[in-house]
Chains A and B, each alone.
Chain A
C-alpha cells in the first residue's frame, strides 16, 4: 500500500522535468560537437588540399630552379661568351700576354 502517493508522483514529475530540461541541453551539446567536428573535418580537408597544392608548387619551384640554372649556364657557356665578345663587343684575342711578377713583400 502506498502511504505517500503524492510524494511518489512529485518525485516522478521532478525526474521527468529534469530529463526534459536535460534533453535540449544534450541536443545543443551534440549539435555543437557535431558542428565542431564538421568544421574541423572541413578544415582538415581544406588544409589537406592546401598541402597538396603547396607541395606541387614547391615541386614546380624546384623545377623552375633547375630550369633557371640551365638558362644561366647556357648564358655563361664559352660559345656564347665568345660570340658576345667577338660580335657584340668587337673584342679580339690578345696579341701578347704579359705576365707581371709581383713581389710578395709589396
Chain B
C-alpha cells in the first residue's frame, strides 16, 4: 500500500465521519429547533398530567340546620374476571365480598368461573367505610368505583322545592338549579409530573389550584312544618279524590316561607329522568301554575274599600241573590238572597253581590291600583326560578270590559299563583305590609356567609285597615255557618274560596278549586296558611274541603310554635 493510497483512505474516512457528524447535527437541529414545538407538546403530554379537582357540593338545610340534601361518596362494586384469577384468590375475594354485596361465596365464585368479560355489577351505593375497606383490599377482578351522589336524609320531603341534580352534580330543577352556582362551588386543578406508571412524582413539579367547595344553603323551611303540610295535603288529596293541591305556610312579619308542598309530586329518592311522563311533576306548582283565586279575593276588595273609606265594615246593602251588571246576571254562590247585610256579612256569606257593590264604590282605577299593590299581575320576586306573573286585565288593556271589574271583585276573571295569593293575605296579617316571599335565608360559604334579610315591598293598606279586615276575617271563621276552621282556644282569621276552573273561554261546571287562606293568632299572627285543593270530587266547596285542613294545620302549628291559647281554660288539642 502506497502512502498516497493511505492518505486518500484516511481522507475518505474523515469525510464520512464529518458527514455523519454533520447529518447528526442536522437531524438534532431539525428535531430540537424546527420540530421543537411538536415534540415539546408530546413530551409534556407524556410527562405532565392535568387533573380536575371537583369541589364538594354544599348541603341544603332547613332553618334549624338539619340537612335536606347532602352530598356523599358511595361505592359501586362490580366484577370483571376477564383476567385469569386463580382459585385461591377467587375464594379469598368471594369471602370478603359475600357479606358486603349480599351474595353467597358460591355465587361469587360461580361468576369468577364463568370467565365473564363484561363487568357484572354486584352492589351500587355501598357506604363509604365499607367501600374504602374493599378499595384497600385490592381484590382480584373486583372493580371499586367511587360515586358522588346526593342524599336526602328526610326522604322525599319538599321534593319540588329542593329539586335534583344530574349525574354531573349540576342542579337541574328547584333550588338545586336556582342556586347551582352557590351550591356547586368552583372546580380546582392540579398539574403534576408523572412517572412511567402515571403516578405523581413526589419530588416533581406540581401546580395546584385548590377547588372552592360549594356553600351550604340555609332555607326558611321548617322541616316539621313541611312534613306536617305534606302529610295533610296527601291525606286531603286522597280523601277528596282531588287532582292535586298546594299548601303554603308563611311567616307574616318576614315573608319567609316555612313550608311549601304540592301534589302530585315525584319521588326524589328514586328519580327516573328517562320517563317523560314524570316531567310535569318536577315543576313547583305553587309558583308556576295560575288559578282564579275565587272568593279569597273579596278580602282585597274589602281592604281597598276600607282604606279608601268608601265604606265601613257596618255599611249595609240589600242582597237579592243576584245583580245584573252590563246585561250579565251575577249570582250569589248558592243562588240565595242574603237580604240586608253589612260588609262583614258580605265576607261571612262570601256574597258575590256584596263584592260587586264594594268594587263599584271603588271604581276601576282605585280597584286595579290596589290589585297591583297587593302584588297581582306581577311576579312576587321570590328567590325561585320559573315564577309566573299572573294575569290581570285592567282598563288599559284592550280586552278589558267593565264586567271584569265586577267578576274580579270576587276573584274570577283574573288569575294568580298560590304564592301570590298567600303573599297578599300575608300583607293583611302583617299590618298592611306586603313582604317579598323568600326561601333561602343564608348562604354559608367556606370563607364568608351571606344573610338575606326580609324585604318589605310596600305598605298596601294602613295597620288600622289591616286590623279591621283581620276582624272581619275572624268573623268569617267564628260567626259563619261553617265553623270548620275554628281552632279551640285560639282566635284565627280566614276566608274560603271556591273558584270555578276556566276552560275554553268559559268555566267548567263540574270541577272547582277549593281553597282557604288564613292566619293566626289574631293579636300577633305567627303564621299565614294557604290551602288549595284542585278538583275535589266529594264536595266542591272551599269551606267543606279546605277549612278543616286549615284547622288541623293551625292546631299543630300552635303547639309546634309554643303559642299558648288566648282563651284561658281552653286547651289546644292535637289530633
Contact = CB atoms under 8 A, between A and B. Distances in A.
Interface in B43-59: 56
Interface string B322-337: 0000000000000000
B66 interface: yes
B574 A67 contact: no
Nearest to B565: A99
A87 interface: no
B132 interface: yes
Interface string B143-184: 000000001011101000000000000000000000000000
A35 to B, nearest CB: 18
Interface stretch (B70-78, B382-390, B405-413): B70-78
Interface stretch (A8-16, A18-26, A74-82): A74-82
B127 interface: yes
A77 B154 contact: yes
A93 B560 CA distance: 13
B200 interface: yes
Interface string B171-210: 0000000000000000000000000000011110000000
Interface string B561-575: 010110000011111
A78 to B, nearest CB: 5
Interface of A is mostly: helix
A45 B193 CA distance: 13
Listed residue (A46, A47, A73) with the most chain B CB atoms within 10 angstroms of its CB: A73
Interface string B254-286: 000000000000000000000000000000000
Contacts of B437: none
Contacts of B200: 52
A32 interface: no
A101 B564 contact: yes
A70 B73 CA distance: 10
B203 A41 contact: yes
21 contacts: A45-B202, A47-B202, A48-B202, A63-B73, A63-B128, A64-B128, A66-B72, A66-B73, A67-B72, A67-B73, A67-B128, A70-B67, A73-B67, A73-B153, A74-B153, A76-B153, A79-B154, A93-B575, A94-B574, A95-B573, A97-B572
Nearest to A46: B202
A99 B154 contact: no
Contacts of B155: 77, 79
A51 B202 CA distance: 8
Contacts of B572: 97, 99
Given A70-B72, A70-B151, A73-B154, 12 more contacts: A48-B201, A51-B202, A66-B56, A67-B72, A73-B153, A74-B151, A79-B154, A79-B155, A93-B575, A95-B574, A97-B572, A99-B564
Contacts of A93: 574-575
B80 interface: no
List 10 A-B pairs, minimum CB-CB distance, nearest first. A48-B202, A73-B153, A99-B564, A67-B128, A63-B73, A74-B153, A70-B151, A73-B67, A70-B72, A97-B572
Contact of A98 (B129, B203, B571): B571
B223 interface: yes
A97 to B, nearest CB: 5
B216 to A, nearest CB: 11
Contacts of B224: 78
A67 B154 contact: no
A74 B70 CA distance: 11
B397 to A, nearest CB: 47
Given A93-B574, A93-B575, A97-B574, A66 B154 contact: no
Contacts, number: 78
A67 B227 CA distance: 24
Interface residues of A, number: 31
B128 A69 contact: no
A98 to B, nearest CB: 6
B28 interface: no
Interface in A23-53: 41, 44-49, 51-52
Interface in A52-106: 52, 60, 62-64, 66-67, 69-70, 73-74, 76-79, 93-99, 101
B574 A63 contact: no
A76 B66 contact: yes
Given A63-B72, A101-B564, A96 B153 contact: no
Contacts of B571: 96-99
Contacts of A74: 151, 153
B166 to A, nearest CB: 20
Nearest to A62: B56
Nearest to B202: A48
B67 A67 contact: no
Contact of B202 (A49, A64, A96): A49
A106 B346 CA distance: 48
A70 B574 contact: no
Contacts of B70: 66, 69-70, 73
B559 interface: yes
Contacts of A48: 201-203
Contacts of A95: 573-574
